[in-house]
Amino acid sequence: MGAAGLVESPKRQEAVSGGVDCARARCVALTFDDGPVESTAKLLDILAERRIRATFFLIGKNAAERPDMVRREYAAGHEIANHSYTHADLGHAPEKMVDAELTGTQEAIRRAIGVAPVLLRPPYGSTGRRLTSKTRRMGLAQVLWTVDPLDWQIRDSRAVERRVMKSVRPGDVVLMHDIHPTTVAAVPRILDRLERDGYVFVTVTELFGGTMTPGKIYAQR
Active site residues: 33, 177
Give, for 163, the enclosing helix (H) or strand (E).
helix 157-167
Q: What is the DSSP string of 72-117?
A: HHHHTT-EEEE--SS---TTTS-HHHHHHHHHHHHHHHHHHHSS--
d(CA 119, CA 162): 28
- Phi and psi, residue 164, nearest 5°: -65, -50
- Report the C-alpha gap between 142 and 63 in whole angstroms: 19
Distance CA 148, CA 160 (A): 9
CA-to-CA distance for 131 and 2, rounded, in angstroms? 12
